[in-house]
């Protein structure tokens, strides 16, 4: 990396940006987030004190973080946190890093969730969806399932640090849920097809949270098939899916007895969530 022990914040950032440039589309932002974390300061410190000369141990931490990033580690895993729907969530390689796309699912869901509703988030991972709903709708009862004990531990720690009430239960998708007990079923399942070239850039994240069979629809098929058992009549399902899967998910929902089926586009203009209501 840099040449001397006297490099300033500004010089370190420039060198890091160049070094990360080939690897990351967000090299400048990555460099800033990692240097601020190594310094134990907010990002604004970097703009306020470009001539500050970090200590050797800060430089060493920063250099390690840059090496990890160059080897494909997402910045969120290095920082150990990621913001989602205004909440700071702890993340580790046991869970998918929450994406802005999934905020669309939360926004759509909370518009239909009232006090007293029972909401379930399937495959909660870090707890992102469940915790955002619990935060937005304190009167709702929120349950979340995950098959991974390591993921549940992350979600539990997040519930504690945010002081939000979510009932976390171990198990596959709807398996832990009682019959006709849920008003609103939410899920961001794995939906990438095996062998999809996008997976190369996602190799640090758990494959079980990303990949789902030859067409990416295995989990969505299982969830839609299970949903009518756990939803109350008229209950709502909201599912995230891949940008080319909306028509397939709408067809699955229709086949399973849902009505008022539709999809919504994400900020990139892709149909990203589909939803419907169980027949009464």
Which residues make up the interface to ligand GLN (CB under 6 A)? 99, 101, 188, 190-192, 198, 202, 210
Q: How far is the CB of 274 from ligand GLN (least distance, A)?
A: 14
Q: How far is the CB of 151 from ligand GLN (least distance, A)?
A: 13
User: What is the Cα 4 distance to its own chain's centre?
Assistant: 39
Nearer to ligand GLN by C-beta: 198 or 265? 198
Q: Tokens standing for 108?
A: 């759509």
Beta strands at 81-84 and 87-90: parallel, antiparallel or unpaired: antiparallel
Nearer to ligand GLN by C-beta: 63 or 196? 196
Nearer to ligand GLN by C-beta: 36 or 192? 192
Q: CA 15 → CA 22, 23, 78, distances in Å?
A: 13, 14, 19
Contact 59, 190 (CB under 8 A): no
Beta strands at 182-187 and 118-122: parallel, antiparallel or unpaired: parallel
Q: How far is the CB of 172 from ligand GLN (least distance, A)?
A: 16
Nearer to ligand GLN by C-beta: 188 or 226? 188
**Coil, helix or strand for 19?**
helix
Distance (Å, whole) CA 231 – CA 250: 17
Q: How far is the CB of 35 from ligand GLN (least distance, A)?
A: 25
**Coil, helix or strand for 261?**
strand
Contact 260, 234 (CB under 8 A): no
Distance (Å, whole) CA 78 – CA 92: 9
For residue 67, give the H/E element and its range. helix 56-70
Q: How far is the CB of 275 from ligand GLN (least distance, A)?
A: 16
Nearer to ligand GLN by C-beta: 140 or 192? 192
Distance (Å, whole) CA 277 – CA 98: 26
Nearer to ligand GLN by C-beta: 62 or 191? 191
Q: How far is the CB of 253 from ligand GLN (least distance, A)?
A: 18
């Amino acid at each position: 990396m840099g040449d001397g022990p006297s490099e300033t914040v500004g010089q370190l950032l420039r060198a890091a940006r160049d070094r990360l440039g080939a690897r990351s589309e967000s090299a400048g932002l990555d460099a800033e987030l990692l240097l601020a974390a190594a310094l134990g300061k907010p990002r604004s410190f970097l703009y306020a004190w470009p001539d500050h000369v970090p200590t050797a141990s800060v430089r060493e931490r920063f250099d390690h973080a840059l090496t990890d990033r160059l080897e494909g580690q997402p910045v969120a895993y290095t920082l150990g946190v990621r913001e989602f729907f205004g909440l700071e969530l702890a993340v580790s390689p046991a869970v998918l890093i929450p994406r802005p796309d999934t905020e669309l699912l939360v926004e759509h869901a909370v518009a239909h969730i009232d006090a007293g509703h029972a909401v379930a988030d399937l495959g909660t991972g870090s707890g992102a969806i469940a915790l955002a709903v619990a935060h937005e709708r304190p009167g709702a009862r929120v349950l979340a399932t995950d098959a991974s004990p390591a993921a549940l531990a992350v979600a539990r720690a997040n519930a504690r640090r945010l002081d939000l009430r979510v009932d976390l239960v171990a198990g596959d998708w709807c398996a832990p849920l009682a019959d006709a007990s849920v008003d609103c079923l939410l899920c961001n399942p794995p939906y990438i097809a095996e062998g999809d070239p996008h997976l190369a850039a996602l190799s640090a994240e758990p494959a079980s949270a990303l990949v789902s069979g030859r067409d990416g629809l295995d989990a969505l098929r299982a969830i839609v098939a299970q949903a009518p058992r756990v939803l109350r009549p008229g209950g709502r399902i909201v599912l995230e899916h891949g940008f080319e899967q909306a028509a397939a998910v709408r067809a699955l929902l229709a086949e399973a007895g849902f009505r008022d089926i539709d999809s919504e586009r994400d900020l990139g203009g892709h149909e990203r969530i589909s939803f419907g209501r169980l027949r009464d």
